[in-house]
Amino acid sequence: MSKSISLLGSTGSIGRQALEVSEVLGLRLAALTANRSVELLEEQCRKFHPALAVCMDGSAAGTLKIKLADTGTKVLSGMEGLLEAVMMEETDTVLTAVMGMVGLRPTLAALKQGKRVALANKETMVCAGELVMAAAKQYGGEIIPVDSEHSALFQCLRCSEDRGEVKRLILTASGGPFFGKTREELEEVTVSDALKHPNWSMGAKITVDSATMMNKGLEVIEAMRLYEMPLEKISVVIHRESIIHSLVEYCDNAILAQLGAPDMRLPIQYALTYPARTHGPARELDLLQCPALTFLPPDEENFPCLALAKRAAQTGGTATAILNGANEVAVANFLAGKIGFMDISRRVEKALSAVPVVQDPTLEDILSADAAARQAAI
């Protein structure tokens, strides 16, 4: 069980819920980091008294340093600050709740220190999963997933250490706010429409990814890396109710599922307390009040991002980094009102076709592919 945490991305949705969980569990917050949310980070620092606070934005870090001058919290900035937060001697667990490729280097650094990584930054596994898993094995680091779907798979897989017994991993997807819409209807949806997720309260980027089904595509790739499973052993089903968070089918045709209320505090807590379970703040699931549980196939024709993610997974190498980088830029442009909803998948497909793929990539190859994909998706 974790005792002292460096929380990367403490001002985001996952980060704020992680602070709530940590407070209930009585865990020490050694470091808190954010991008540029100075006021909220200051408030968090005054409540949790971390030894270190980091703003990725240098100007924001300067402002935070002045605001926290009367405290014992040290303030740093940029990637160097993130890496120092990860490598603090008192930290035994690093919870990575930052968005995008910024989480890659800190994750690798934590694993090379033999620490536990509570992983909520799926882009790290999508872009460089092989490097991350190799680092964990070489240095004795530990990866516990925080995503609700991957936490569910992780829990169900505890029933068997022999991956040969696993027939299939089944990821559930809510289908987002646009499930059932045609391509013509999707051409007309707005940013406001895309941010109305039916079940979960999440950040803007991941909410849009859920609407395009890219989030599920990224999770398919993440599952391949985390559980060392081939693409053909990973399935996606639409489960509108978000009660079953994922399932594992075994070779004897038994299927194990993890159920719970749609509350991210449960997978966050499990990643921090594993292998133990404790009382916590997550909502209770009342089976007598549950709606009927339904399952439908995903619509990859009208939601092509899922198919594009599978294509990148099949190609391998830097294709998944290209997919992710292009998607990050396309989603940012959609949120800024520069492109339409269906343009997201078009920009990603353009990048996948334009940027050369490198097999067996180094970290430098992955970072270069990411940069090229971002340029191609503009």
DSSP 282-349: SPPP-GGGPPPP--B---TTTSTHHHHHHHHHHH-TTHHHHHHHHHHHHHHHHHTTSS-TTHHHHHHH
Both tokens assigned to 287: 């089976």
If DSSP codes are grouped into helix, strand and coil, which group holds residue 204? Answer: helix
161 pLDDT above the threshold of 90: no
What CATH class does 151-371 carry?
mainly alpha
Q: Which has the higher per-residue pLDDT, 201 or 13? A: 13
- The domain segmentation of the chain, as residue ranges, is 4-145, 151-371
Give me the residues paired with residue 5 across strands: 29, 93
Give the model confidence (pLDDT) of 222-234 as tens digits.
Answer: 999 999 999 999 9
Residue 256: what pLDDT?
98
Q: Tell me, what's the pLDDT at 1?
A: 84
CATH 3.40.50.720 fits 4-145, yes or no: yes
User: Which pTM does this prediction carry?
Assistant: 0.94
Q: Strand order of the sheet with strand 116-119? A: 74-77, 52-55, 28-34, 4-8, 93-96, 116-119, 142-145
Q: What is the mean pLDDT of residues 237-264?
A: 96
Q: Residue 268: pLDDT above 80?
A: yes
For residues 115-142, give the mean pLDDT.
Answer: 95
Average pLDDT over residues 346-354: 98
What pLDDT, in 10s, does the model give residues 181-234?
A: 999 999 999 999 999 877 766 788 989 999 999 999 999 999 999 999 999 999
Residues 202, 210 contacting (CB under 8 angstroms): yes
pLDDT at 298 over 70: yes
The pLDDT of residue 215: 94
What is the pLDDT of the chain when averaged over all its residues? 96
CA gap 216, 306 in Å, rounded: 7
Average pLDDT of the residues in 31-47: 97
